[in-house]
């Protein structure tokens, strides 16, 4: 080996090297339960970093319903509530209405937000609750072992659509985010991803925006994050990211869908 | 200070009591025969006019009970109300509330079923209410008012018990109590206040560990420990909170067991019976869970029979039979479909069932 | 202009070997190990440490927050 790594590090420290990136203290030391390469970890980290950077940990309550992130409270070093499947935004409504001064967010998967919780999601957005909704869309039910999601793509194979999703049998991929953007109760709606460093940076800005918006009392901020599920998709993590770019992004294009009008 | 007395409908009494006992939030969805609760609250507008109490019409009973779950997680006094079909929808949320050990008040102004049933009063939700209508091993403390005054008083009592034991409390009323008007002695306004109970999520400050509200324990051993803890709490509730009323049981040869509107019918039956020289008394369970089993067992050897008067096919009768352990015959008389039996009708059938000439 | 220099520290036992950091590195610094960690996953190491600029691209995409990034501040 050409370089003694330990010596190299010592040399750089001697030259004044300092930490420019480390784990936020808003994450616990418990290792994530997610599969290697899963986007949940990055999404968790970004939300926790934003809360730390804004200095609002003591005023933030998170809600994690059923899905892969159901035990998110094991990883988030903040106060949190686990909710029943699909009910996250109703729970968040109950928290926010009785604690309007707190920052409240829900963290939901596609099954939770766009299937079993559709009514709660639509009506929370329609009421314009002053909460942030983080919506993790990976087109499959990861926690229960790879079943079809409302957001599964046409032709996409899953354990409950083993021959691929067919629109005449299973319906079409549901882009609830776009529908929600139509509601006057949503203030900020954007679709992001976390598979490249550039996308991670943009996504973090969107998450920050979603929290900042809560100070304005102008309605729901919804950040959809399109992520991979390499286990559910039966791929390696790098393959999954490539597949996501080629297949998920055309169906769920990244970018802002509804941005606050500048006054 | 002079007593404040008002003529109130049973449903209005619930709403007024909620405001006065310092409730923080009501979340509900309209359903007959209890919509006056949310209507009264909307009219009174406690958020703007009286205490700052949140009143919100949810998109469904499912959403409403989960809003209660959210508010309760932060230590707020939150409540919801509904009637039978709506209560079925709330069962998931109630199981979660019990599992997460959250305090809240749920009111069921029951109507006839099954299915969409009728809008007339019924007591056919007894099983659902006292046996835990949702999934898993859990119980709610269940209070059964039989006057509008009790309907009023049990709101504060319900919240007090809910917070004492960190457990959901249910008021099991019925369409008759909900709809009828009686005079109510009102209590003084109590201010709203939120305490740090050590478990409620308020935002994690630097100097304490994070808190989380959950009913999920993936490891069986941990889940069992959680269950044992909850069961120990239930044992404590059984020890401390059994409430009932006895009317003329001292010399009784027969005991009527009835709650809610049926207890009012039964009270009249006692008079009809005693006029004919038949010594009838009544035990009225006020808490349906925990059930006054021990007292019934005590009374059993002193009487010749017990009759449950219920507006159902006979549900509480099972608990009475379990209580007396076969020591005495237990019969049931009741009407279904929203029909309230008349005292005379109950009396005639009581005599038939016990072969009294 | 002097080259920007940095390095990464890895919490090897928390790594699940997804290799996303290797893909994300613009300077081909990282490579997967031949060994496995306590959980049985291979993990990244700095194959070309001198190439590292401390840009944190690897850390930004790491789903398990395994990577701490150091950088020598550039003199103004």
The string of pLDDT tens digits covering residues B88-145 is: 999 999 999 999 999 999 999 999 999 999 999 999 999 999 998 999 999 999 999 9
What is the residue range of C49's domain? Answer: 6-71
Residue C76 is assigned to a structural domain of this protein: no
Report how far apart, in Å, the C-alpha atoms of A117 and of each of B124, B159, B265 are.
30, 29, 44
Chain A residues whose C-beta sits inside 8 Å of any chain B C-beta: 28, 56-61, 63, 70-71, 73, 76-84, 87, 90-99, 102, 119-120, 122-123
Give chain B's mean pLDDT: 97
Nearest chain A residue to B100, by CA: A82
Residues in chain A predicted with pLDDT less than 70, given as ranges, are 1-2, 263
Alpha carbon distance C15, C22 (integer Å)? 13
Chain centroid to CA C58: 5
Residue C32 contacts A, CB cutoff 8 Å: no
Query: For position A1, what pLDDT does the model report?
Result: 52
Nearest chain C residue to A45, by CA: C65
Instruction: Please provide the DSSP assignment of B139-160 as one string.
Output: --EEE---SHHHHHHHHHHHHH
Phi-psi region of B52 (alpha: psi -120 to 50; beta: other; left: phi over 0): left
Nearest chain C residue to A42, by CA: C63
Alpha carbon distance B273, B288 (integer Å)? 26
Query: For position C74, what pLDDT does the model report?
Result: 84
Tokens matching residue B316: 């509480």
Size of interface A-B (CB pairs under 8 A): 134
Q: Specify the number of domains making up chain A.
A: 1
Instruction: Output phi, psi for A36, to 5 deg.
Output: -55, 130
Query: For position A117, what pLDDT does the model report?
Result: 98
For residue A62, what are the β-bridge partners?
A: A80, A105
**Min CA distance, A128 vs chain B (Å)?**
13
CB < 8 Å to C65, chain A: 23, 27, 32, 41, 45
Contact check, Cβ <8 Å, B24/A73 = no
Chain B residues whose C-beta sits inside 8 Å of any chain A C-beta: 24-25, 27, 54, 56, 58-60, 62-64, 66-74, 76, 78, 92-93, 96, 100, 201-206, 210-216, 218
C14: domain CATH number?
3.30.70.20
CB < 8 Å to B212, chain A: 73, 79-82
**Min CA distance, C44 vs chain A (Å)?**
13
Alpha carbon distance A73, B28 (integer Å)? 28
Nearest chain A residue to C43, by CA: A36
**Min CA distance, B108 vs chain A (Å)?**
20
Q: Point out the residue among A8, A18, A38 whose CB comes nearest to the CB of C63.
A: A38
CB < 8 Å to C5, chain A: 12, 15, 17
Report how far apart, in Å, the C-alpha atoms of A140 and of each of A44, A156, A196 are.
19, 9, 21
Residue A115 is assigned to a structural domain of this protein: yes
**Min CA distance, A16 vs chain B (Å)?**
30
pLDDT digits (tens, 9 = 90+) for C10-49: 999 999 999 999 999 999 999 999 999 999 999 999 999 9
**Min CA distance, B32 vs chain A (Å)?**
22
The ranges assigned to domains in chain B are: 4-189+232-236, 244-353
Chains that touch A (3 or more CB pairs under 8 A): B, C
Residues 6+ apart with CB under 8 A from B259: B123, B144, B146, B172, B284, B285, B286, B288, B316
**Min CA distance, C39 vs chain A (Å)?**
12
CB < 8 Å to B73, chain A: 61, 81, 91, 94-95
Tokens matching residue C70: 């150091």
Query: For position C2, what pLDDT does the model report?
Result: 64
Q: What percent of chain B is modeled with pLDDT above 70?
A: 100
CATH architecture of B4-189+232-236: 3-Layer(aba) Sandwich (3.40)
Region B149-174: mean pLDDT is 98
**Min CA distance, C66 vs chain A (Å)?**
8
Specify the CATH number of the domain B244-353: 3.40.50.920
Alpha helical stretches, state H, chain C: 20-24, 57-61
Mind spelling out the 3-state secondary structure of B27-41? EECCCCCCCHHHHHH
Residue A27 is assigned to a structural domain of this protein: no
Other C-beta atoms lying within 10 Å of the C-beta of residue B88: 17
Contact check, Cβ <8 Å, A41/C56 = no
Among candidates A120, A163, A118, A164, which has minimal Cα distance to A139? A164
Contact check, Cβ <8 Å, A5/C14 = no
Q: Specify the number of domains making up chain C.
A: 1
Give chain C's mean pLDDT: 94
Residue A28 is assigned to a structural domain of this protein: no
**Min CA distance, A164 vs chain B (Å)?**
32
Residue B3: exposure state from Cβ atoms within 10 A (0-12, 13-18, ≥19): exposed
- pLDDT above 80 (res B1): no
Query: For position A261, what pLDDT does the model report?
Result: 80
What is the residue range of A253's domain? Answer: 33-258
CB < 8 Å to A194, chain C: 61
Nearest chain A residue to B201, by CA: A79
CB < 8 Å to A35, chain C: 16
Residue A102 is assigned to a structural domain of this protein: yes
For residue B59, name the pLDDT band (cuts at 50, 70, 90): very high
- pLDDT above 60 (res B214): yes
Q: Does the ipTM surpass 0.85?
A: yes
Chain centroid to CA A261: 24
Query: For position A33, what pLDDT does the model report?
Result: 95
Touch between C and B (at least 3 CB pairs under 8 Å): no
CB < 8 Å to A70, chain B: 216
Instruction: Please provide the DSSP assignment of B209-254 as one string.
Output: ---EE-----SHHHHHHHHHHHHHHHHHHHHH---EEEES-TT-SE
CB < 8 Å to A13, chain C: 70
Contact check, Cβ <8 Å, B54/A90 = no
Query: For position B152, what pLDDT does the model report?
Result: 98
Mutate to test the interface with A, among B52, B64, B70 (most CBs of A within 10 A): B70
Residue C1 is assigned to a structural domain of this protein: no
Region B302-311: mean pLDDT is 98
Instruction: Output phi, psi for B332, to 5 deg.
Output: -130, 140
Whether omega for the bond prior to residue A45 falls within 30 degrees of 0, making it cis, is: no
Alpha carbon distance B215, A82 (integer Å)? 8
Alpha helical stretches, state H, A130-185: 167-170, 176-181
Residue A142 is assigned to a structural domain of this protein: yes
Contact check, Cβ <8 Å, A120/B63 = yes
Mutate to test the interface with A, among B52, B78, B90, B203 (most CBs of A within 10 A): B203
**Min CA distance, A145 vs chain B (Å)?**
16
For residue C76, name the pLDDT band (cuts at 50, 70, 90): low
């Amino acid at each position: 080996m050409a370089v003694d790594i330990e010596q190299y590090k010592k040399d750089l420290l001697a030259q004044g090297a300092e930490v420019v990136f480390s784990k936020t203290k808003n994450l616990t030391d418990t290792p994530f339960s997610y599969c290697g390469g899963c986007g949940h970890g990055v999404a968790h980290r970004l939300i926790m970093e934003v809360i730390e950077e804004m200095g609002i940990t003591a005023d933030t309550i998170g809600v994690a319903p059923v899905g892969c992130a159901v035990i998110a409270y094991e990883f988030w070093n903040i106060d949190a509530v686990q909710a029943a499947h699909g009910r996250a935004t109703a729970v968040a409504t109950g928290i926010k209405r009785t604690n309007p001064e707190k920052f409240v967010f829900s963290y939901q998967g596609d099954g939770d937000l766009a299937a079993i919780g559709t009514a709660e999601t639509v009506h929370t957005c329609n009421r314009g609750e002053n909460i942030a909704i983080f919506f993790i869309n990976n087109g499959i039910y990861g926690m229960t072992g790879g079943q079809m999601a409302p957001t599964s793509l046409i032709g996409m194979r899953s354990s409950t659509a083993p021959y691929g999703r067919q629109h005449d049998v299973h319906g079409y991929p549901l882009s609830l985010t776009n529908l929600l953007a139509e509601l006057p109760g949503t203030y900020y709606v954007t679709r992001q991803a976390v598979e490249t460093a550039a996308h991670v940076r943009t996504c973090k800005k969107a998450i920050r925006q979603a929290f900042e918006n809560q100070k304005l009392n102008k309605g729901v901020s919804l950040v959809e994050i399109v992520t991979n599920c390499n286990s559910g998709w039966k791929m390696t993590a790098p393959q999954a990211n490539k597949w996501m770019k080629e297949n998920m992004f055309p169906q769920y294009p990244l970018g802002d869908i509804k941005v606050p009008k500048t006054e | 200070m002079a007593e404040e007395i008002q003529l109130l409908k049973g449903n209005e009494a619930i709403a007024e009591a909620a405001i006065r006992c310092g409730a923080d939030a009501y979340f509900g969805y309209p359903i007959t025969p209890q919509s006056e609760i949310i209507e009264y609250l909307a009219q009174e507008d406690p958020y703007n006019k009286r205490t700052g109490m949140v009143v919100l019409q949810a998109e469904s009973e499912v959403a409403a009970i989960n809003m209660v779950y959210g508010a309760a997680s932060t230590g707020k006094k939150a409540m919801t109300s509904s009637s039978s079909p709506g209560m079925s929808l709330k069962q998931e949320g109630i199981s979660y509330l019990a599992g997460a050990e959250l305090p809240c008040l749920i009111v069921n102004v029951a109507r006839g079923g099954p299915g969409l049933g009728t809008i007339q009063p019924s007591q056919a939700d007894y099983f659902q209410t006292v046996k835990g209508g949702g999934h898993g091993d859990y119980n709610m403390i269940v209070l059964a008012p039989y006057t509008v005054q009790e309907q009023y008083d049990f709101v504060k009592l319900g919240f007090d018990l809910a917070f004492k034991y960190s457990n959901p409390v249910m008021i099991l009323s019925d369409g008759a109590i909900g709809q009828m008007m009686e005079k109510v002695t009102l209590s003084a306004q109590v201010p709203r206040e939120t305490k740090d109970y050590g478990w409620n999520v308020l935002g994690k400050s630097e100097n304490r560990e994070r808190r989380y509200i959950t009913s999920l324990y993936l490891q069986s051993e941990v889940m069992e420990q959680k269950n044992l803890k909850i069961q120990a709490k239930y044992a404590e509730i059984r020890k401390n909170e059994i409430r009932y009323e006895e009317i003329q049981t001292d010399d009784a040869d027969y005991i009527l067991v009835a709650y809610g509107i049926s207890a009012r019918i039964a009270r009249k039956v006692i008079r009809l019976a005693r006029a004919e020289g038949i010594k009838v008394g009544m035990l009225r369970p006020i808490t349906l869970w925990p059930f006054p089993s021990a007292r019934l067992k005590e009374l059993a050897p002193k009487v010749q029979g017990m009759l449950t008067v219920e507006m159902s096919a006979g549900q509480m009768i099972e608990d009475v039979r379990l209580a007396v352990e076969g020591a005495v015959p237990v019969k049931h008389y009741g009407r279904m479909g929203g029909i309230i039996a008349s005292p005379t009708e109950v009396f005639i059938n009581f005599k038939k069932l016990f072969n009294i000439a | 202009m002097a080259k920007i220099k940095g390095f990464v520290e890895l919490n090897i036992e928390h790594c699940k070997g997804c290799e996303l950091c290797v893909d994300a590195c613009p300077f081909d610094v990282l490579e997967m190990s031949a060994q496995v960690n306590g959980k049985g996953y291979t993990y990244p190491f700095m194959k070309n440490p001198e190439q590292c600029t401390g840009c944190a691209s690897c850390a930004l995409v790491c789903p398990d927050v395994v990577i701490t990034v150091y950088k020598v501040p550039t003199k103004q």
